[in-house]
Amino acid sequence: MKKIALLISIPFIAVIITFLVLVLLVNPNDFKPLIKEQVEAQTGRQLTINGDIEWRFFPSIGFSIGEVALSNPKGFSTPDLVKFNNAVLDLNVRPLFQHEINIGLVTLDGASFTLHTLKNGTTNLDNIGPTKEQIETIETTSEEPVAKITDNTQPSTQLNDWKVTLEGIALTNAEVLIQDDKAGTKMYFSDMNLSLSQFSPGQWAHLEFDLKGDLGQQNVALKGETDLNIAVTLDDASLKQTEFNVSYSDASNKFNDISFTIDQFSFDTWANISLKAIGKANALNVNSISTFALYVPKALDVIQVKDFSSTNNIKGKGIPNEDVTAIIGFNSTFDLNKSYLKIEKLALSAVDTDFNGKMSVQLNDIPKVRFELRSPNIDVDALLATLPQSEVTATEKTASNNKELPASKATEVEPDLSALKTLDVAGTIIIDKFKASNAKMQNVTSVFSVNRGVLKLTKFHSDLYDGAIDMTATLDARKTTPTYSIKQSIKGVQVAPLLTDVMGESLIEGNGNMALNVSGKSLKPSALKENLKGKASINFADGAVNGVNIPLLIRTTYAKIKGEKVKGSEEAEKTDFSALTADFYLSKGNATTKNIKMVSPLLRIHGEGSAHYVNETANMLIKTSIVGSLKGQGGKGIDDLKDVTIPIRITGPWAKPKYKLEFDDVMQQKAKKEIDRGIEKLEEKYGDKIKDEKVKDAANKLLKGLFN
């Protein structure tokens, strides 16, 4: 029995004797020059060891070392690349006899690391390693060739046969500086601490960390903890009771309460995750809560998210009702191999407006985004009504002031559309009911795309007041001055209800058909209208022009000329028609036409002139011919004006046009008609004698004398 005890104690006695010899006879500080020399040979940088190196031998073997620094080359912001105040590492000896590697608590205090990039792109990590001369020296002094490792070569001891444990890691008071002079950025992370409890593969360990960051314009603080379990095979890991807390602030935002929690996480298992953010963004109070389930396969091919739900409440001035809650929900998959994101069951809700649909994103140099959205109802007027009146008033006042500014003061620039060059987006939006400016539309469908600077509306269709509107459009923003084109068709629209809803009154009634084909360049407010060119056509049927009763205007004016007494009339201020057509040609802010035509049982109207759509004024000459009895609109007949063309001049602003009957032409036509009639009677009585040209010339001179 004594012999067995002696045999067992011999290894321990040998270890103890070895430790005593190391401690009593070997001073580790004597190795400082050798360590410095070897580090400088391998890195090309100077190593400074200001602290002492001490042995640690009970109950484990190890060492501790004081202040150490590895230098930076000259020209960088800090003298050291890496430094630390103190480090401790030890290894328990006894477990080695049971094929166990038991590493003690690893501590590192006051660690500092600097990554600095100069304006020329050089970093303090460049050229780290032995010099060319040192490499050549090592190659020439090496006598024994390195043994070639073949597939059949086996290590003397298999690591898998050993159990590895770590008593823990303690990183305290660390800091990292990342400075990029080329990009003009600087990030400084300080007060970095990390603590890992006893760790062994296959066992749960507790990890805690915290840090602070100064990102130049932003400040962050991060604190987190989790339970960690790494499989014995080192190819799997699990987390539980994970929580991260973040605070963030910059010039206009401040979030002191941002949290991220995971109940548990393992590969091939659904994990429940929640996010919370409370703070201020641009003077708005934000409270956001999100939850979802995450599935990450061990193969790392397709990541899934289901039941994502995010409720975001925003309060403050300048938003609808000063209180908006937006809700977002979806399911998604992300194929890591194909870099393809797919979102389904997408639901968006805010300010009584809902959207449902789906979308996908293909991650390329320019992400390819495709989507389909549908909303049952959008009421823009109701949305605007929820905005503070002060905001609306301020906007209107600013617009009014801009109109009053002279051109020299109101400097105009093209809008910045450069972002369109970075987009590849295409989608469809369907709205069952849509209301804006009190105009009501149904079954609205729009299909559009934005591809590298070109915006295309390939389809727009909507039901509109018993009719329909269709439109296509293109905006090309690839050049400094953007260009655009629009094609629009309106068919079968009841114009009166539409104009009444939008303007509060209807200038025209009837069944309306309109066509528009225009193009232009520049989106500056003034140039937008001035550079517009193209054609607009209208075709109305069975309607009326409100605001003017042309038959009544003719009767009353003619009665005044004849000296008759004009009585008041209760007739409606409108002119009926069976057809009204016109083509307008747009150029340089002016719309000109030569073929306005209006047909009714009483009148035939032909018009021409121009409408200045920059100043919104008109100068039109409408020539009216009476082809029937004016009794049709409540008055007595004026048969003696039948077949006489009556010109009406329309001038002034569009909102309040002025109508003037140019009766001089009417009377001249009437007088010529009477003279011609008299000559015809003379011809009947005197025959060829009256056909003398002198008689006709005398009649013409008489006519001119009366009206000039």
Q: Where are the alpha helices (DSSP H) in 80-223?
A: 132-141
On whether both 276 and 327 belong to a single domain, the answer is yes
On whether both 525 and 579 belong to a single domain, the answer is yes
- Give per-residue pLDDT as tens, 40-80: 888 888 999 888 888 776 667 788 899 999 999 988 989 99
On whether both 36 and 184 belong to a single domain, the answer is yes
More confident residue, 622 or 468: 468
Is residue 619 a contact partner of residue 591, using CB atoms and an 8 Å limit?
no
**Residue 143 placed within a domain:** no
**Residue 359 placed within a domain:** yes
Is residue 103 a contact partner of residue 91, using CB atoms and an 8 Å limit?
yes
| pLDDT recorded at residue 63 | 81
How far is it, in rounded angstroms, from Cα 62 to Cα 102?
Answer: 12
On whether both 183 and 108 belong to a single domain, the answer is yes
How far is it, in rounded angstroms, from Cα 550 to Cα 641?
Answer: 14
pLDDT-derived band at 34, boundaries 50, 70, 90:
confident
pLDDT at 615 over 60: yes
How far is it, in rounded angstroms, from Cα 448 to Cα 446?
Answer: 6
pLDDT-derived band at 592, boundaries 50, 70, 90:
very high
On whether both 656 and 685 belong to a single domain, the answer is no
* Count of Cβ atoms closer than 10 Å to residue 317 Cβ: 10
Residue with tokens 């000896």: 93
On whether both 254 and 281 belong to a single domain, the answer is yes
On whether both 595 and 701 belong to a single domain, the answer is no
| pLDDT recorded at residue 137 | 58
DSSP letter at 504 equals S
The whole-number average pLDDT for the span 19-35 is 69
Q: How large a percentage of the chain has pLDDT more than 70? A: 78
- Give per-residue pLDDT as tens, 639-653: 666 666 778 889 999
More confident residue, 5 or 297: 297
Instruction: Tell me the pTM.
Output: 0.76
**Residue 677 placed within a domain:** yes
- Give per-residue pLDDT as tens, 194-251: 999 988 888 999 999 999 999 989 999 999 999 999 988 778 899 999 999 999 999 9
The whole-number average pLDDT for the span 571-582 is 88
Domain boundary pick from 337, 370, 399: 399
- Find, among 177, 197, 199, the residue nearest to 187 by Cα: 177
Beta bridge partners of 574: 546
Number of separate domains in the chain? 4
pLDDT at 154 over 60: no
Find the range with the poorest average confidence among 182-186, 187-191, 385-389: 385-389
- Give per-residue pLDDT as tens, 124-143: 998 887 666 655 655 555 45
- Find, among 703, 616, 621, the residue nearest to 662 by Cα: 621
Number of helical H runs and strand E runs in the chain = 10, 35
DSSP letter at 631 equals G
**Residue 469 placed within a domain:** no
Residue-number span of the structural domain to which 114 is assigned: 26-132+163-200
The whole-number average pLDDT for the span 243-265 is 96
Beta bridge partners of 226: 207
The whole-number average pLDDT for the span 115-124 is 92
* Count of Cβ atoms closer than 10 Å to residue 332 Cβ: 20
How far is it, in rounded angstroms, from Cα 73 to Cα 79?
Answer: 8
Q: Where are the alpha helices (DSSP H) in 440-506?
A: 495-503
Side-chain-side CA neighbours of residue 388 (13 Å): 10
Beta bridge partners of 447: 428, 459
How far is it, in rounded angstroms, from Cα 472 to Cα 486?
Answer: 6
On whether both 175 and 296 belong to a single domain, the answer is no
| pLDDT recorded at residue 407 | 45
**Residue 147 placed within a domain:** no
**Residue 406 placed within a domain:** no
**Residue 156 placed within a domain:** no
Query: How many whole angstroms from its chain centre is CA 696?
Result: 78
pLDDT at 405 over 80: no
| pLDDT recorded at residue 689 | 52
On whether both 80 and 181 belong to a single domain, the answer is yes
**Residue 483 placed within a domain:** no
On whether both 653 and 680 belong to a single domain, the answer is no
In the chain, the amino acid numbered 261 is: T
Averaged pLDDT score across all residues of the chain: 83
On whether both 642 and 684 belong to a single domain, the answer is no
Domain boundary pick from 378, 399, 420: 399
On whether both 657 and 676 belong to a single domain, the answer is no
